[in-house]
Amino acid sequence: MHPFTRHHADSVSALGEEKLIAAIRRWLGTASPRAPFGIGDDCAVLPVARGRQLITVDPVIYGRHFDDSVPPRAVGAKLLKRNLSDLAAMGGRPTAAVLALTLDARVSRKWLEQFYRGLAACARHYGVPIVGGDVAQADGIIAASLTLLGEARGRRIVTRTGARVGDAIYVTGQLGGSLRSGHHYRFTPRLAEGTWLARQAGVRAMMDVSDGLAKDLRALTPPGAAPALPPGSLSLRPGCTVAAALSDGEDYELVFAVAARTDLARFERAWKRAFPRTQLTCIGRFIAAKKLPPGVVDLDKFHGYEHLKQLPRS
């Protein structure tokens, strides 16, 4: 669905701000509590947090994260799910979200209604109250930025730092071809998996795969080490090459390091009991960089998705 309309009467600018905000509250429905715990005051009052609090922010932008082929309801859901995936990577559960919307005055009300209804349905599904927001105007753009709050109730928070030489590297699900297959908006964030993994003592470091494994894995790699991935170890989405699995991005899977001393067979059996439908693949190990054996995947050949890297424009 194309988000812009040529007919002023169908556009958000025909509504004006006050009616638009009233409409947004209607579209969000029970996903947005009443003020002061939701939209309608200078700030929103947050629910009381029980564990350590986490925060993350990620946008969806027209032409970057979605186009006319993505249903607007799915765009709204994708916005929340992208952030939930970041929370999953720290073993957190969501508690609340706020949304900053920047949009052209010619955006169609129909498109925007579906966007908010999709966001609201997703927010209800994952139990995330949308407690606040802002709507601002800018020409030629639709950009929505969501700030997600969460909590980690376990004894520890798993970060990207902590992997060591010898640790096994695991990835959930399949990689590659996210745009082509529609996975980039149909994915399910690995929230339950993330909180389970954060409780396993052997899991030393974790992150989500969003810019392509080749790029993201660098952030998980301890100093002086390198990931040794045997060819054929990756779990590819049907029809995908290894290059696609390493570079495409928007996989929204979890990649994590498990301590060398862990009984991996036992760990994998426990995973299967907990998540019989989520694939788990050991893709290799971190080894000392100078000991990298021949024949492993050369990650330097793959760059993943680098934002803002463009050829000069005239």
Cα(95)–Cα(37) distance, rounded to whole angstroms?
12
Residue 52: Cβ-neighbour burial (10 angstroms; 0-12, 13-18, 19+): middle
Q: Which of residues 266-285 bind a copy of itself (CB under 8 A)?
A: none
Chain positions 24 to 43 lying near a copy of itself, rule: CB under 8 A, are 35-36, 40-43
Ranges within 217-256 binding a copy of itself (CB under 8 A): none
Range 157-176, binding a copy of itself (CB under 8 A) = 157, 159-161
- Candidates 8, 180, 269, 301; binder of a copy of itself (CB under 8 A) is 8
CB distance 230 to 296 below 8 Å: yes
* 87 touches 194 (CB < 8 A): yes
- Rounded to a whole number of angstroms, the minimum distance from the CB of residue 284 to a copy of itself is 21
Residue placing its CB nearer to a copy of itself in the complex, 55 or 288: 55
Tell me the DSSP string of 263-285: -HHHHHHHHHHH-TTS-EEEEEE
Do 198 and 90 contact (CB within 8 A), yes or no?
yes
Calculate Rg over the CA atoms of the chain.
21
Question: Please, which of residues 118-147 interact with a copy of itself by CB under 8 A?
Answer: 131-141, 143, 145, 147
Decide: is 153 part of the binding site for a copy of itself (CB under 8 A).
no
Locate 119 and state its tokens: 């966001």
| 94-113: contacts with a copy of itself (CB under 8 A) | 96, 98-100, 102, 105-106
Binding of a copy of itself by 22 (CB under 8 A): no
Site for a copy of itself in 47-76 (CB under 8 A): 48-49, 52-59, 61-64
Q: Which of residues 209 and 226 has its CB atom nearest to a copy of itself in the complex?
A: 209
Q: Which positions ≥6 away from 146 have C-beta within 8 Å?
A: 57, 58, 59, 79, 80, 82, 83, 97, 98, 99, 100
Q: Which helix (H) or strand (E) holds 58?
A: strand 52-61
- Contact status: 209 vs a copy of itself (CB under 8 A): no
Instruction: Select the residue interacting with a copy of itself from 150, 176, 177, 212 (CB under 8 A).
Output: 150
Closest separation in Å from C-beta 202 to a copy of itself = 20
Residue 219 vs 288, nearer CB to a copy of itself: 219
